[in-house]
Structure formats: C-alpha cells, structure tokens
Structure 1
C-alpha cells in the first residue's frame, strides 16, 4: 500500500493561517463591540434629550430629568428660543482600547413650549457626572 505524501507539504500551514487571521479577528471583534456601545450610548442620549425637552417645555426642571437618565460624562445644553426648547446631549463612547481616539455621539430634540409657566432653565450647559450635574 502506498502512502500519500502530499499531505506532509501542508505541515504548519494552520499555524501560519491562525497567526495571520487571529489579529484580524480581534480587530473585527473590537470594532463590533465599540459599534454596539455607540448605538447604546446614542439611544441613551436620545432618551435623555427627549425627556428633558418634554419636561422643560412643560415648565418643569429639565435638569432633574437629565441627571436621572443621561449617560455618565454627557454634556448637556438646554436652550429656549422663542416658542421652542432645544436639548442637546453629547456623550463619549467607551472604546475598548485606551489609546484609541474617543468617539462622541450627539442627540438633539426640539419641543414646543406649552402654555403655562415659563420653562425652568437655570443653566445653559452642564456635564453629567456620576454624582449629578457639575457646573
């Protein structure tokens, strides 16, 4: 019986393919996880902007809503121009690599001012931290 000798020529090719493919797979995983976190942060910013705009347009404290629902480290601005309240929330995306540039997502919501008391807008801009809004 004769043995096939051609299989011996591929010896070590799996190791070489793994060494070339594993870093690419890790980069793909890193980019995917960062994208998922960016989408989640965008949703949190949109939720915070929407709730704060609704509260401020009704005359309530929009900053209390922002403190409750904005992602940590978010920069928030609430502006009233005429009959509209505009809330913008900007938050950094946590990237998995420490040396990677920071990504920032932004969400802006505009709400019409409802009749009644004036919107409560003590600040123009603030940063939401772990302990609340810092001025």
Structure 2
C-alpha cells in the first residue's frame, strides 16, 4: 500500500508554496527597498559634499545647486547655510522605487556636509 500514502501527499508542495510565496515576495521587496535606500543615502551624502565644496569655493548659488543635483539626481533638494568660515549643505534625495504595494509614501534619503570657506 505504498501508493496510497503517496496519493494523500499529492499537491502538498503546491499548497505550501502558495502559502510561503507571498512572504517570500514581501521579504524580497523589503530587501530591494533597503538596497535602494542605501544607494540613495550615498547619493545624498555625495550631493551634499559637492554642494558644500562648491559653496566653499565661492561659486554662485546656481552652481552650488547644480553640483548637488548633478550628483543627487532629479528631485534633489538642497539647503545651504553659511556660518562664519563654514558652509553647511543639507540635501534630500528621493529613493528610487517604493515599498511595492505598501508604498503610498515616497521615501527620501538625507545627506549632510560641512566645508570650510576657502580664502
């Protein structure tokens, strides 16, 4: 009667896969979103560094913002502040992609850089 035991098990792998597959998809979406957020964070820090360096060299405001957008990409926002001999740049960069079906809220990464004004 070994054939009867196998008959009762038929389709169990398919049922288990149907239950586990949504969890695997959710984990995959989360991993990809974390990866995209990490890349956006690096772009934001690099964009802030570029903007602060441009401001430290005495370039005009348009050049400072252009430097940040060139590195950060479309949708980059820049805030620059001068404090004596120091320039501070705060940059926000959009995270590419969203949390799949959960993503009604766009994600943004931030970067911060400080540079000393060149004489």
> What TM-score, normalized by structure 2, do the two folds share?
0.84
Are the structure 2 counterparts of residues 29 and 6 from structure 1 closer, same or farther at C-alpha, using a change threshold of 3 Å?
same
Q: Does 2:106 match 1:102?
A: yes
Report if aligned partners of 1:41, 1:71 keep a CA contact under 8 Å in 2.
no
SS in 1 for 2:46: helix
* Equivalent position of 2:55 in the other structure: 56
How many angstroms apart in 2 are the aligned matches of 1:39 and 1:30? 14
Are the structure 2 counterparts of residues 28 and 70 from structure 1 closer, same or farther at C-alpha, using a change threshold of 3 Å?
same
SS in 1 for 2:118: coil
Which is worse superposed, 64-73 or 91-100?
91-100
How many angstroms apart in 2 are the aligned matches of 1:43 and 1:70? 9
How many angstroms apart in 2 are the aligned matches of 1:104 and 1:17? 37
How many angstroms apart in 2 are the aligned matches of 1:73 and 1:108? 17
> What TM-score, normalized by structure 1, do the two folds share?
0.75
Shift of 1:64: 2.7
How many angstroms apart in 2 are the aligned matches of 1:83 and 1:109? 14
Q: Does 2:88 match 1:86?
A: yes
CA RMSD of aligned residues (A): 1.8
Alignment of 1:64-83 (within 5 A): 64-83=66-85
Give runs of ≥4 in structure 1 deviating > 3 Å: 2-5
Unaligned runs of 5+ in 2: none
Residue-pair matches, total? 114
Higher strand share: 1
Unaligned runs of 5+ in 1: 116-135
